[in-house]
């Protein structure tokens, strides 16, 4: 097998990682060679890749191709005299503008270069995004990204080194402006040195490169007078030295290039500073809580203003679907029984819950935005301080905030708390945080009775949950868990702009669970309710005489003081223990979504006051069965039963209190 031999040079600014790349490439078998004529060491090593033996020379770090220093002299001599097959320009990609200067000079010289963007880890950490496609389009040379210190991208670099490079586009040129270009053109025409692009030679000569001048002299060309003339003419126009002007043009070009190809997602330090300033307001001792409440209020405005029109559409669709399927089933010889199961039971029950998909998805969206932006952590921080002042453990509020989505992950999140006492205490109050499963109930009732102030009303229920959680925790603490509270140090990530993709993914992850629930547990419940509403045989569907009517009637008297003492409400609350969405599903199944629609029926059997009492009851009266099971798993049966018991009592007392007191005023 014939071996190809390549000789390549590594070059770049000092500290761009050349030696690191060198060692990675050569696997540490590098031997250090003293090069004749100079005192500074250059390292030479070898590596084998495919059928290619590559000799690698690590040159000293330089900033440009001029020859002001010994290092520059060595690097330049090597590049110009030894003529390596390829030059790998290693740049610190986190500092591109400065690092690319040398690279553009080499590119102008017509050398066969590879651009190695090293330190990509730092680039990522700084939140910088480099568009290599644009860089490639402009430079037309292979570009390889590496993290040399970790060995990442080294294989790709080897690949690029041994690849027959389709000779670079060669079209790269910096436009130095009409005046300078004119003179470059003049010199270019009379110059001819094999192996170097005339344009580059002309530029070097204008920059006062004496070595190039000597070389042209040796070749018998006397371009000196032309160069001097050009220089003189140019420096009359320019108000500073020509060399400086050329450097300036190059940096101007790079600066434009950087703007084009680099975007900064964030800058950590800058971000922290901005975050600090925002926090001075958002975490302010007095403003913190009002701002938090304001945010919550805005959140519900957002959820309903945007969600309701879509919900209305789904509601109309479900009504139509219910009517047309029952009509269709009967028309094609299906029994009345089947038609009732499909239209009353399934479409009525599940459909009435699905109507609330829009506000639920929007709520998840809003929560995802608050979380991603960093505000959620602040909300916890603000409440933390408040709770701490009440002698409660601040760390509780994070699981509590999580409980807004679903109580179960909130309960599990208490595992991060060190003190078992505080942990149980927090678990006991998390069910008071209104999870999204309860949102359909509020949306239905607030929409039916307080359409103008729907956002306010739902906000008040959520707020009630938080306030109750704090009061209840304070009481339980005094009763069962005496002891001191430990201060908490909370992480406050810098604020940042949430990404659309990120929040949409979050919204979908949580929202799809809701849809899944609708297809499983809620569906199961409404079918069961439909069955109980149809039995015993011959009874009128969903009448008081049906099985479900009898079950509901048993509970109704207990609910009467709270203002909703009819059997349907009893059934709804009873089945709501399985999953809170079922409360709405039950009404949907029992009252149907056809004709008048659920909202209208609700308006007939509730008053605004009893509706509000019912919402409060739904918030508090018991954690759902899955939450109770989770409490049991995280603590024990005793606490699980206690959580269920106290919440039933509290819910009933509060609903009754609201209704009875309210009756006096309204
Ligand atoms: P040279 O002066 O160009 O030869 O640079 P060196 O190879 O001596 O590297 C300079 C410093 O940068 C060393 O501390 C390396 O460990 C570090 N370094 C090299 N490559 C990387 C990289 O990809 N990422 C990071 N974070 N550090 C690197
Ligand atoms: Mg080095």
CA of 127 to the centre of ligand 1 (A): 19
The position carrying tokens 């020379």 is 57
d(CA 48, ligand 2 centre) in Å: 22
The pLDDT tens digits of the residues spanning 297-354 come to 888 888 888 888 888 888 888 888 888 888 888 888 777 778 878 887 788 778 777 8
Task: Extract the tokens encoding 306.
Answer: 């945007």
Residue of the nearest CA to atom 25 in ligand 1?
Answer: 119
End-to-end, the C-alpha distance of the chain in Å comes to: 99
The reported pLDDT for the residue numbered 581 is 82
Closest-lying ligand 1 atom to the alpha carbon of residue 119: 23
Q: List the Cα angle 238/239/244 in 5-degree steps.
A: 75
List helix spans (H) across 28-95. 70-77
Residue 54 confidence (pLDDT) above 70: yes
Least confident of 200-204, 308-312, 415-419, 488-492: 488-492
- Ligand 1 atom 16, closest CA: 149
* Per-residue pLDDT tens over the stretch 63-110: 888 767 777 888 888 888 888 999 999 999 988 888 899 999 898 888
By alpha-carbon position, which residue is closest to atom 12 of ligand 1? 17
**Which ligand is nearest to the Cα of residue 146, counting in written order?**
1
The band of 486, judged by pLDDT with boundaries at 50, 70 and 90, is low
pLDDT of residue 651: 93
Q: How far is the CA of 92 from the centre of ligand 1 (A)?
A: 9
Span 460-466, average pLDDT:
91
Residue 307, both tokens: 């969600």
Q: Is the pLDDT reported for residue 418 higher than 80?
A: no
Pocket lining for ligand 1, CB < 6 angstroms: 12, 14-20, 61, 118-119, 121-122, 147-149
pLDDT band at 614 (very low <50, low <70, confident <90, very high): very high
Q: Which of 19, 20, 95 to mutate to test the pocket of ligand 1 (most atoms within 8 A of CB)?
A: 20
Distance 120 CA to ligand 2 centre (A): 18
Residue 167 has pLDDT above 60, yes or no: no
Q: What is the pLDDT of residues 527-560, one digit of tens each?
A: 888 888 778 877 777 777 888 888 888 888 898 8
Of the listed ligands, the closest to the CA of 22 is: 1
More confident residue, 61 or 490: 61
Tell me the CA–centroid distance for residue 11 and ligand 2, in Å. Answer: 10
Q: Whose CA is nearest to atom 9 of ligand 1?
A: 17
Name the average pLDDT for the chain.
83
Domain 4-162 matches domain 178-269 at the CATH topology level:
no
| Residue 460 pLDDT greater than 80, yes or no | yes
DSSP secondary-structure letter at 286? T
Ligand nearest to the CA of 40: 2
Give the Cα separation of 441 and 222 in Å (integer). Answer: 93
| Cis peptide preceding 536, ω within 30 of 0 | yes
Measuring from atom 13 of ligand 1, which residue has the nearest CA?
Answer: 17
For residue 144, is pLDDT > 90? yes
Please answer whether residues 608 and 561 qualify as being in contact, where contact means their C-beta atoms are separated by less than 8 angstroms: no
- Cα–Cα nearest to 258, from 153, 128, 146: 128
Compute, in angstroms, the gap from residue 84 CA to the centroid of ligand 1: 23
Which ligand has the nearest atom to the CA of 41?
Answer: 2
Q: Where are the domains of the chain?
A: 4-162, 178-269, 289-665
**Ligand 1 atom having least distance to the Cα of 15:** 2
Q: How far apart (Å, rounded) are the C-alpha atoms in residues 639 and 191?
A: 93
Q: Which atom of ligand 1 is nearest to the CA of 90?
A: 3
Of residues 270 and 654, more confidence is placed in 654
252 Cα: distance to centroid of ligand 2 (angstroms): 29
With CA atoms as reference, report the closest residue to 278 among 534, 112, 495, 499: 495
pLDDT band at 165 (very low <50, low <70, confident <90, very high): low
What confidence score (pLDDT) does residue 34 get?
40
Nearest CA to ligand 1 atom 19: 17
Phi-psi sector, 37: left (phi>0), alpha (psi -120 to 50), beta: left
**CATH for the 4-162 domain, from 3.90.180.10, 3.40.462.40, 3.40.50.300, 3.40.30.10:** 3.40.50.300
**What is the per-residue pLDDT across 29-52, written as a single tens digit (0 to 9) for each?**
544 444 444 445 667 888 888 888
0.75 cut: is pTM over it? no
The residue that leads in pLDDT, 398 or 202, is: 202
**Architecture (CATH level 2) of domain 178-269:** Orthogonal Bundle (1.10)
Cα(60) to ligand 1 centroid in Å equals 14
pLDDT score of 36: 42
Of ligand 1's atoms, which has the minimum distance to the CA of residue 12?
3
Question: pLDDT (tens digit, 9 = 90+) per residue, 567-599?
Answer: 888 888 988 888 888 888 888 888 875 545 788
């Amino acid at each position: 097998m014939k071996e190809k031999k390549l000789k390549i040079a590594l070059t770049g600014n000092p500290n761009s990682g050349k030696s690191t790349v060198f060692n990675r490439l050569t696997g540490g078998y590098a031997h250090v060679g003293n090069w004749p004529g100079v005192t500074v060491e250059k390292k030479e090593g070898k590596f084998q890749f495919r059928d290619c033996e590559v000799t690698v020379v690590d040159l000293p770090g330089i900033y440009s191709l001029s020859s002001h220093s010994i290092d520059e002299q060595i690097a330049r001599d090597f590049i110009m005299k030894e003529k390596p097959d390829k030059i790998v320009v290693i740049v610190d990609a986190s500092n591109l503008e400065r690092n690319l200067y040398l690279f553009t000079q080499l590119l102008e010289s017509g050398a066969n270069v590879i651009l190695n963007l090293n330190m990509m880890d730092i680039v990522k950490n700084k939140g910088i995004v480099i568009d290599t496609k644009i860089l490639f389009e402009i430079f037309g040379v292979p570009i390889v990204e590496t993290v040399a210190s970790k060995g990442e991208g080294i294989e790709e670099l080897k690949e690029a080194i041994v690849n027959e490079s389709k000779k670079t586009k060669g079209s790269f040129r910096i436009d130095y402006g009409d005046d300078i270009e004119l003179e470059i053109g003049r010199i270019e025409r009379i110059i001819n040195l094999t192996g170097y692009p005339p344009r580059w030679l002309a530029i070097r000569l204008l920059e006062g490169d004496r070595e190039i001048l000597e070389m042209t002299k040796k070749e018998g060309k006397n371009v000196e007078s032309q160069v001097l003339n050009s220089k003189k003419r140019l420096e009359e126009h320019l108000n500073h030295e020509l060399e400086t002007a050329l450097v300036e043009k190059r940096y101007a070009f790079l600066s434009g290039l950087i703007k084009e190809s680099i975007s900064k997602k964030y800058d950590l330090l800058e971000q922290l500073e901005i975050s600090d300033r925002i926090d001075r307001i958002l975490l302010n001792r007095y403003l913190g809580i009002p701002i938090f409440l304001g945010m919550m209020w805005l959140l519900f405005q957002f959820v309903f203003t945007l969600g309701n029109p879509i919900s209305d559409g789904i509601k109309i669709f479900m009504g139509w679907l219910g009517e047309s399927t029952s009509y269709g089933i009967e028309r094609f010889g299906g029994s009345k029984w089947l038609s009732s199961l499909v239209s009353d039971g399934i479409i009525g029950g599940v459909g009435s819950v699905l109507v609330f998909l829009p506000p639920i998805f929007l709520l998840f969206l809003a929560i995802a935005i608050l979380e991603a932006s960093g505000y959620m952590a602040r909300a916890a921080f603000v409440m933390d301080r408040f709770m701490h002042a009440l002698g409660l453990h601040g760390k509780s509020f994070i699981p509590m905030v999580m409980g807004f989505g679903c109580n179960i992950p909130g309960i599990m999140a208490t595992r991060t708390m060190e003190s078992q006492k505080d942990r149980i205490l927090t678990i006991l109050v998390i069910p008071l945080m209104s999870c999204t499963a309860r949102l359909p109930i509020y949306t239905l009732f607030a929409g039916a009775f307080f359409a103008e102030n729907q956002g306010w009303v739902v906000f008040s229920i959520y707020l009630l949950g938080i306030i109750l959680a704090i009061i209840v925790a304070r009481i339980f603490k005094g009763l069962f868990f005496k002891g001191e509270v430990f201060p908490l140090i909370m992480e406050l990530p810098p604020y940042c702009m949430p990404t659309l993709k990120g929040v949409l993914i979050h919204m979908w992850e949580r929202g799809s669970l809701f849809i899944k629930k609708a297809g499983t547990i809620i569906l199961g419940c409404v079918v069961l309710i439909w069955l109980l509403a149809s039995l015993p045989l011959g009874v009128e569907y969903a009448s008081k005489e049906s099985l479900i009517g009898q079950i509901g009637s048993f509970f109704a008297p207990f609910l009467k003081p709270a203002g909703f003492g009819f059997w349907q409400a009893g059934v709804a609350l009873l089945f709501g223990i399985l999953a809170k969405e079922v409360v709405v599903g039950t009404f949907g199944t029992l009252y149907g979504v056809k004709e008048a629609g659920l909202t209208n029926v609700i308006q007939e059997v509730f008053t605004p006051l009893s509706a509000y009492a019912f919402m409060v009851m739904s918030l508090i009266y018991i954690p759902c069965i899955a939450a109770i099971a989770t409490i049991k798993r995280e603590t024990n049966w005793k606490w699980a039963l206690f959580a269920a018991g106290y919440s039933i009592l509290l819910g009933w007392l509060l609903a009754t209190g609201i209704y009875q007191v309210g009756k006096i005023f309204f």
